[in-house]
Amino acid sequence: MSYTDDFLRTVLKRTKTVAVVGVSLNPVRPSFYVARYLSLKGFTVIPVNPGHAGQRLFGAEVKASLSDIDAKVDMVDIFRRSEAVPPIVDEALEAFPDLQTVWMQIGVEHAEAAAKAEARGVDVVMNRCPKIEYQRLFGELRMGGFNTGIISSKL
């Protein structure tokens, strides 16, 4: 899976609302700080986790499933194991007719689910992190991969 910088930049620039599937309320978990980062960068983040449904995170109510979201969603960011991806993609395609992107986090890949989304005209990114790509593409990271000299989950 090779993605051009232009492709990733386009995906991130056009995205306004992100549903983060598998988000954790634990601030040391990657799903928490990626969702927090995206919200601080101006994205509307809709957290999705059935175990935390009804709670609030970054000013938004945590939804139990994608089907519970009544807003337009541009991108679904998946923080789940690869084998859990197909039903998430199916639900996303059903719930969001204008969905633009399915993004699978680092370590998450599912070729068949990706092909299904792409056949519906949805762009797919696998095994990447939107936080890392945003920082890299929009000048927040130097060549070494960080800008502060300290690697932390805190923003």
Indicate the pairing of strand 56-57 with strand 60-61.
antiparallel
Q: Can you give the CATH number for the domain in which 19 is found?
A: 3.40.50.720
User: Does residue 147 lie in a domain region?
Assistant: no
Q: Which residues of 88-103 are buried (b: 16+ CB within 10 A; e: fewer)?
A: bbebbbebbeebbbbb
Tell me the pTM: 0.89
Q: Which domain holds residue 113?
A: 5-142
Q: Which residues pair with 44 in a beta bridge?
A: 17
pLDDT in tens, 83-127: 999 999 999 999 999 999 999 999 999 999 999 999 999 999 999
76 and 66 in contact (C-beta within 8 Å)?
yes
Q: How many domains is the chain built from? A: 1
User: Does residue 153 lie in a domain region?
Assistant: no
User: Does residue 150 lie in a domain region?
Assistant: no
110 and 103 in contact (C-beta within 8 Å)?
no
User: Does residue 10 lie in a domain region?
Assistant: yes
User: Does residue 32 lie in a domain region?
Assistant: yes
pLDDT in tens, 64-93: 999 999 999 999 999 999 999 999 999 999
